Structure 1
């Protein structure tokens, strides 16, 4: 579709951004935004009338739409839940520079979205750029690159491979047990970073020994101040040139890459030294991959790919699992009855260290399984997933809807270039699927398969949760994450009691950095809160 008028200044904006010094870039970015805004809005409002026009909330501003209501905190989920109640399982929200964003809660629509992920629905230019900066051409990359990486990595994430890593998870979890009591900002990142290091690529970050690896420093830092750079990701969805603006993100990425490169070099050299040695049993994920390459050159990893996969393991393993474990401890501190039930189940079990198979068997430790999945339901690491339609598409619906023109339809026609999103956290908490108490932490809903027998059975994903996504892009490390989560939680819950300092009525939220995918848990006063940890007698 061509623009309805000439826009000769766009090339000039690109050249200015490419040649300008850093100090002038914010001003140039603002000028570029103003120059391009008119054309972007005109383009987005000139859509063919054949496409489905959906109901949705009114715009708050011409520039931002309602995007400023969707910060990277728990508040965004509340807005999605409210809009679902008001406009139904499928609606459209006004986004940046007049762009529309279709939001899907409908089970059939969500299943279609995930099935077509990476073919019809692709990552935006901005998202791909950020991923490549952080994780290179690893499994998060699109199209053929991502498919090949998934094929290479799959054997290392098999049940047999993860079963062999059980001792790593227990070793890391048990390093916490010498503590008798502590009070401080809540986090369980140390176990996760050491587990990922040893289980992923045989590298000891020594976080549990008191050291603070640069990897943890990078991701635990948060840049949540209100600024132009905080809103840059939203602008970049419709103005990719915004991504050219250098800032704190780029310098942090360089530090991270420099650190990971030295780690990858060490791993690479170790594997070369041990090549062909039957006496050395390599159980790490990357190590297994390097040893299993054989003569199939299409599945061999280069040094650069090893580096990229290490980045992926850290990004997808450390941040997600440590965040989920922290949320679990918060919920158990709020719910002392659930914490006691879990501790009693673990202490009454046959062994202090259940095997991988016992942990994964939902009938062996049912309450541990229930607490795990209730945490993953309420607090998915990725709260939403958005894509851009690469081609025109028709999304089927479970139940017909009434569109903005008052017509009833059982599908929605989506034009190429449309933003489409699945609010994972909101769907996981939707009363329509999980009942009127969907917003509450209630592990009992999982006992006996009750949760999966209700309306949630229509949802795709692991145990009908969208936490690990679904379809061809389902999280490849799902079983690794579940095994690590359950192992660490079983050790912590058996040996420690968790309480809030000052009572459990306070509201906790999480702030996620804009420039790096870090996270910070804060109380109602906006400051990191304390969690009391006390050893319990056997």
Structure 2
């Protein structure tokens, strides 16, 4: 009897303590936000089933705020942030307190393996230390001949296809071609290996990547949204087991693709080890990783599994992200022929300058000198960020500073926002890059000239990203190490293709959706089952 009393008293104390913790925990209840659509889904359906950034723009405008409370399943509060000062705090001022949620990391592990995108804290620092030397300015310059070679091969193919038609123009699904070209680029640049994707109509690696993100993450059902919204309630080990074993088609697609990519990575590593054992000394990323793995310094070593994961991450980020960004560039150029013409004039003027000085190729200095072309690239990266959302959560209670005063539901005016430990923060990259307080009243418009003006709006706010104050390449400790390479690759493609080709919209391209599937890809409204599509009409650009 005494033991029952003790057990009952103990249970009552625990219950009271948990109730106290819930009542005393920092609350977001006073932060304005939309009413939940349902108790089981909250506002998540609006985010996951709409186009990328669609809900963000609507709520940001309605509440005139860069900090908005939204609801997850079971009434859980989450915070959507697009305020520049808050983003600077999360990514630069106090980044070690803001981690990727463990369940999100498990999804990244399923997609890419335990590489730098998955790693956290000291593991992430070790990975970054090993890989950073491969992504400097000198290393980027050395890759320009590789970029030009792949671009030239694709350009020749397109010219052949165009000239074979009776009207000297052809409709091409641009992302498919660009994905094959950028896969060849990353193969040569990062792994000293030619995948031959442009020459092969079909390849195992190409099939593994084709429509991978749209197959796995596009158009989620309400059940999938509920599962994703409640996954954090499960232990990480259980989440990992389910992701690795549950018979769901989307997860099966991820697992099978990962198997192919890991097999290719292992073959490349084995080949590189043999080359280096025979005196080879390549400067590609894989050579760097193999050398680091032979080091006796534990802080410079990666396990074989980590090395394969780094290669998977580089392959994904280095070709899928770049090809998708380029697709959005050509889409906007097709929509704005006057911008395309101005770019072409600038590029050809520089071609003349280069010939006069006796050179045959553009240099990195030339790239930086093409002010309007660079402005167009930055404007597309602003309007169409591939990673439209990131999620962070504080390890401890914290306070977010705000650049714009927030009017709470209770009528208080605040310039900072207390947030509880573990609160899911949806970092709206899409929302930040359309924030009118940062980019001006025409933030939703395609307007490259904003980058040519002195004193542009974003210069008056907190500095955030690594390129043009954009969050497209993230920021701070977890910023994309390959941003210089990505920019140079995009510039190389554009200089050749805008000089030689003219892009125009097709009827199908007028129905393009910004599909939300972890990354933002172009798909045709009503034809989502066909995967990534952006059919543009391509012809040879006239020369005087």
TM (normalized to structure 1)? Answer: 0.83
Q: Match for 1:193 among 175, 183, 190?
A: 183
Q: Does residue 538 of structure 2 align to residue 530 of structure 1? A: no
Aligned equivalent of 2:73: 96
Following TM superposition, by how much is the alpha carbon of 1:525 offset from its aligned partner in structure 2, in angstroms?
6.4
Higher deviation after alignment, 265-274 or 302-311:
265-274
Contact 2:269-2:286 at 8 Å conserved across structures: no
Query: Could you say if the C-alpha distance between residues 503 and 211 of structure 1 is closer, same or farther in structure 2, counting changes exceeding 3 Å?
Result: closer
Contact 1:186-1:530 at 8 Å conserved across structures: yes
SS in 2 for 1:177: helix
Q: Deviations over 1:449-497 (max 9, x none)?
A: 5546654565554211111111111111111111111111111111111
Q: Deviations over 1:33-90 (max 9, x none)?
A: xxxxxx9xx99994536545311111110011111001265x3423212222232222
Aligned equivalent of 2:515: 511
Following TM superposition, by how much is the alpha carbon of 1:135 offset from its aligned partner in structure 2, in angstroms?
2.1
CA separation in 1, counterparts of 2:133 and 2:45? 42
Listed as ranges, the matches of 1:243-282 within 5 Å are: 244=242, 245-275=246-276, 280=280, 282=282
Aligned equivalent of 1:48: 24
Q: Does residue 224 of structure 2 align to residue 229 of structure 1? A: yes
Listed as ranges, the matches of 1:497-508 within 5 Å are: 497-502=502-507, 506-508=510-512
Give the total of aligned pairs.
Answer: 492
Contact 1:59-1:94 at 8 Å conserved across structures: yes
Following TM superposition, by how much is the alpha carbon of 1:376 offset from its aligned partner in structure 2, in angstroms?
0.4
Following TM superposition, by how much is the alpha carbon of 1:276 offset from its aligned partner in structure 2, in angstroms?
6.1
Aligned equivalent of 1:410: 415
Q: Which blocks of at least 5 consecutive residues in structure 1 are unaligned?
A: 7-38
Aligned equivalent of 2:348: 347
Higher deviation after alignment, 115-124 or 168-177:
115-124
Query: Could you say if the C-alpha distance between residues 205 and 319 of structure 1 is closer, same or farther in structure 2, counting changes exceeding 3 Å?
Result: same
Aligned equivalent of 2:202: 212
Q: Does residue 275 of structure 2 align to residue 285 of structure 1? A: no
Aligned equivalent of 2:325: 324
> Counting helix residues as a fraction of each chain, which structure ranks higher?
2
Contact 1:290-1:300 at 8 Å conserved across structures: no
CA separation in 1, counterparts of 2:424 and 2:93? 14
Contact 1:268-1:303 at 8 Å conserved across structures: no
CA separation in 2, counterparts of 1:483 and 1:296? 33
Aligned equivalent of 1:11: none
Higher deviation after alignment, 225-234 or 175-184:
225-234
Query: Could you say if the C-alpha distance between residues 518 and 410 of structure 1 is closer, same or farther in structure 2, counting changes exceeding 3 Å?
Result: closer
Higher deviation after alignment, 331-340 or 252-261:
252-261
Q: Deviations over 1:409-459 (max 9, x none)?
A: 221111112111220011101222112221111111111455466545655
TM (normalized to structure 2)? Answer: 0.83
Following TM superposition, by how much is the alpha carbon of 1:235 offset from its aligned partner in structure 2, in angstroms?
3.0
Q: Which blocks of at least 5 consecutive residues in structure 2 are unaligned?
A: 1-9, 163-169, 355-359
Q: Match for 1:184 among 159, 172, 177?
A: 172
Following TM superposition, by how much is the alpha carbon of 1:377 offset from its aligned partner in structure 2, in angstroms?
0.4
Listed as ranges, the matches of 1:366-445 within 5 Å are: 366-445=371-450
Aligned equivalent of 1:112: 89
Q: Deviations over 1:114-158 (max 9, x none)?
A: 136763221222211111122222111111111100000000001
Aligned equivalent of 2:131: 153
Q: Does residue 149 of structure 2 align to residue 144 of structure 1? A: no
CA separation in 1, counterparts of 2:93 and 2:172? 44
Q: Deviations over 1:257-290 (max 9, x none)?
A: 3323332233223322332666x55232222343
Contact 1:523-1:529 at 8 Å conserved across structures: no
Higher deviation after alignment, 395-404 or 294-303:
294-303
- After superposition, the CA RMSD in angstroms is 2.9
Query: Could you say if the C-alpha distance between residues 379 and 47 of structure 1 is closer, same or farther in structure 2, counting changes exceeding 3 Å?
Result: farther
SS in 1 for 2:206: helix
CA separation in 2, counterparts of 1:525 and 1:288? 43
